[in-house]
Structure formats: C-alpha cells, structure tokens
A and B are shown apart, each in its own frame.
Chain A
C-alpha cells in the first residue's frame, strides 16, 4: 500500500507541503473517496434532488412558493432534533428519549406561560434548563453506571411521557399563542432584512474561507485548491440566494393578504448550524467528542475525561431537544401530552443518519442534520400533498431510515477495506 516509498515521497514531507492539486486532481480524489465509502453529504443531497423531481412531477403544488415555506417550517423541528442527536451518535450512543425530554421541556414552557402567566423569556429558559437537567441525569447514569444508553434512554422515553401527562393533564393540551414563540414558525422577516441577512452570511463565509485558505498557503500547510474554495463559496451563495429569493416572493393564495419573507425558523437553524459546526469542528470539546466516539480507550489514555464528555453530550442533546420541541410548539400552536412522542425521535435519528452521521460513532457533522432533516420533511410533505393514507408515510419513512442505515453500514465496511 502506501508503504512503498516512491520517488516523490523520498523527499519526506515535501510531497504534501502544498497539497494544492489542480482542480481536476481534487475532483478525482473526491470521486476516490466516494467510491471508497466516504460519501459525506452525497446520498442526502442526491435523495433530495430525486424527491424534488418526483414530487414536483406528481403534484404541481409541491414546488409552489407556499409549499416551500411550509416545507422549511415543517423541517425545522426535525432538523433541530437531529442536530441534538448528532453529538450523541458521534459517541456511538443513542438517545431515544430526546423527543419526549423536549416534550417535557416544552410543557414546562407552556404551563409557565399559560397557567402561571410568566414572561416568555423565563419560560424558555426554564424549558432549556429542564432539558439540561434531564440530559445530565441520563449522562450520569450512562457514564457512571455503565448501562447502555439504549436501555437508559428507553426507560426515560417511557417515564418522561408520564411526566408530560402529569404536567398537562390527561389528553389535554396547552395552546401557545404568545407572540414571540408562535412567531418562530408563523412570522416572517421583512424582505429587505431577508436579503441583508442572506448576503451577510455569504460574505462572512467567503471572508473566513478565503482568510483560512491564505493562512494555510502562507504557512505551507495542507490546503484545498483555490478553485475548490471558490466553488464552495459560489455553491453556498447560490443556495442562500435561491432560498431567499423564493421565500421573498408572495406566497399567499389570497391576493389581499400577501405573505412574503423568510420564516424566523430558518435563520434560527442557520445560527444553530454555525454554532454546532463551530463546537464540533473548532473546539477542544468537539475534538474530544470525535475521539471518544472513535476509540474511548485511546481518548482515556490521552488524558481526556471520557465520562465528562459523555455527560456533556447528553446534556447538550436534551437541551437542544427542548429547543426543537419549542419550535414544534410554535409550528403546531400547542403543546400536547404527546409532544415529542410518536415518531418524532425516529424522524430525527433518520435525518442524522441519512445526512451521513454514522450510527457506529466517530463520523458525522452538524450539517448532516440539515440535509437529512430536509429529506425526511420532504417525504412527509410530498406524500401529504399526494393525499396518501398516513400508513404509506410510515412505511416510506421507515424504509428510508433502513436504507440510510444500510448505506452507513456498507460504506463503513468499504471505508475499513480501503482505509479511508
């Protein structure tokens, strides 16, 4: 394999000093990686394109501006819950209780706001704190008692549903009509603000990417070809501007009441995505999460407190789950005794896995939650438009999850065979 020292390698590390291949070479390297099983975001993006084409032909309302906005608000809670699960999956663990933990937290928010007339800010903080406490307890049990997370969180999945029932009353629900909370999914940014934020994000990304590229070139470190950096900036700009353009069109069916602008849930997802990409990719904590997921024993020997990482990850997961169910409450306008139960969690796990996060731990990114969450939401949305019976929705989503897990398992095998 790579043991054979070729002429170019004879020069020690000179061979990778620049690592700036031509564009063609880096495209070839990418194809090599994909063939070797390291597919990244490819399956989810490909799946999304296929779904858009199929549903676009099957129903002429699918690609309408109104439905695109609906799709984004529907995808919001799924994406945020999937983002909550990514760090847990990176450890090779699972949190089956994330959905209902978020449900309990959203209940706390609803009860505080509606029954105790507390301000929304306090209620949201209380909800996030509830999530954090649940996560710490789960993390402590998993890390200190060594019970598999599957069992611990299954117990919490059942137990926390009881807590929600107790908080809210049997079969009841709390209406959420507080302006700010309901506005997350139902209010839109002004058209001008949408364009400004969109352009600011593109400009920020471009500046950061170019600065990093220049620093790497100056220090003689491994870096991508300049053309690839530019291509990434252009791709991001195209997506951002395209989405902004569509959402800034009037999508109302009633000409007297125009609806336009980006729903607030979208910038919220963008902020969370930036936050989690930073936390996982640029901080020591994130590096240690990957290390514990890859080889806990190696992490322990390197002096990493494995227990502390586990507990912090479960805490972060349940806190994010609380946020997800707050957004869900905004979308559905209520918190009910079944919030976060049912298939919410499986949708989120499916989203993360479809996005490319491995169930075996050690591999995945925050952006997987976004692409995977869009796939799941598109299936639900598209089948809903086709007026299919809801059983088909379950079967198709279950099938897609199984397919994604199979792709994960097969590509993992290929990766270990090709050493990627």
Chain B
C-alpha cells in the first residue's frame, strides 16, 4: 500500500507495517511543506491508528514540529493528502482540526496559570446557560474526564494551575483531550521537563488514553519513553520519513541510527524480510 513514495532521493526507503487489524484514523500522504526556499518536509507519509501510540522521532530540525503544526492546521500543507477516517479532508486552520477531533498538547503547555483546572480545560469552549457561564456543568464534566483517566494526583479541580507541578499540568492538558472526546491527540514532548515519577504518571496516562481508543501521536526525544509506550515508530530524518516500523521489530540502537543517519542497515534487511 501507498507506493506513491519515490525512493530515488530518499536516504532509506521507508519500511511499512501492514496493519490489517485496523485502518488508520488519520493519514498524511506525500506531504510537502516549504518555507520560502527551505523545503522542510519531503513527501512525508504518516499514519495514526486508533488505540495505538505512534511515536514520531527525529533529531532537531528533522521537521517534527512542522509536521505537527501541519496536522494541527497551523501551517497549510503545500502538496499532499490529509486523510481522516479514509476520507480526504482539507484542514485550513486549528478550528478545522479541532472539528475533526484532533487535539494538540503543546510542549510549552498552553495553560493559563491564573485560572483553575476547570477554567483551563474549558478555555475557549466554555459551557453557558444563557449569558452566564455554567460553572456547575463545567466542573462536573472536568471531574468526570479526570476520573476516567484515573487521575489521582490533583487535589481539587478548583486549584489554580499555578499550584500544580509539571506532571500535573501535563495531566490537565491531556485530560482536556478526553473532555472533548478527541479522536486523535498529538503530544509534543510531554515528558521533556519532568522528573522520573512524573514521567511515569504521564506515560501511564498516555497509555490509558490510547487504550480508550484514541489515536495518539507522541513526539519525543526520549527513546526510553518511546519504547515504553509506543506501538509504532515513525522516524524523520531531514524532512523525510526514514522508517515507519512497529516498536517490537526494532531496537533502540537501530532507532538511534535512523534518527542520526536516516537509515539502519540491519533494519532494512530484517524489515524487508518481514514485509515480503
């Protein structure tokens, strides 16, 4: 499937896992994105499956952030297809992505410290009864969302976000996606600034999120985290997809090679043997 890829200029032809179990929830096909003369993304293919964590790995400048912003509708794509649930869609802005059920959890958490947890979770999408904010509904729903993720570390949903630790803030940001019944959640470096225990909590949360049927894209530098929660790994190298493999089929060393050089000799051999 998807052989539209032209491997001539690719450092390594991307390897693809045949997913017979389920179809991708969200798929990008042959995405190109340039900023002036800088061609940042070259024919990128990406698939996010429901109930799975797909990790997007790559070195600085590989194009991870650009790809996420294309997915989130912040950058328009130059060429290529944006396919949601098998249907091509056009995403012109963050609102279009939001309407499809795509939620982005940014690295520099988009939370307002002076507001409390409930207020942050409903920010921009407040529930109203008439002219007035419907605080009771919002508080109940926020509580439900946090309970459904078995979040236990937050004392009160009326705590201001300023009083939360990094891990708890990440939790709130992720719980927001549950609240809005998101189909796809993009997590940009969710554990980058966290300690060991907090990373543990957030990774557990990411796993629970995927287990509930959501398609999760995890952008991360930390291969330990990636191997712990990801079902699939897509490696970017200089704006191209270096590999798209199941986590169980690769080793950490191979992924490091993919990130740093764009190919992994023994991976090509083993992967081609499985796909043939």
Contact = CB atoms under 8 A, between A and B. Distances in A.
Interface stretch (B2-10, B34-42, B150-158): B150-158
Interface residues of A, number: 41
A118 interface: no
Nearest to A16: B156
B133 to A, nearest CB: 6
B156 A299 contact: no
B164 interface: yes
B106 interface: yes
A298 B157 CA distance: 19
B123 A304 contact: yes
A219 interface: yes
A10 B110 CA distance: 28
Interface SS, A side:
helix
B162 A415 contact: yes
B162 A298 contact: no
B110 A362 contact: no
B125 A3 contact: no
Interface stretch (B50-58, B139-147, B218-226): B139-147
Contact of B114 (A219, A282, A290): A290
B143 A13 contact: yes
Interface in B101-140: 104, 106, 108-115, 119, 123-126, 128, 131-133, 135-136, 139-140
B106 A301 contact: yes
Interface string A202-233: 00000000000001100111100000000000
B163 interface: yes
Contact of B198 (A3, A5, A415): A3
B158 to A, nearest CB: 5
A295 B157 contact: no
A256 interface: no
Contacts of B125: 302-303
Contact of B111 (A287, A295, A362): A295
A415 B162 CA distance: 8
B167 interface: yes
B168 interface: yes
Given A284-B128, A302-B124, A294 B136 contact: no
B132 to A, nearest CB: 5
Interface centre among A19, A290, A298, A419, by most chain B C-beta atoms within 10 angstroms, is A298
A363 B113 CA distance: 10
Contacts of B132: 282-283
A298 B153 contact: no
Interface in A309-366: 362-363
A236 B27 CA distance: 60
Nearest to A15: B155
Contact of A416 (B123, B162, B198): B162
A283 B131 contact: yes
A287 B119 contact: yes
A16 B153 CA distance: 12
B59 to A, nearest CB: 26
Contacts of A222: 139, 156-158
7 contacts: A3-B153, A15-B156, A294-B114, A301-B110, A302-B110, A362-B112, A418-B163
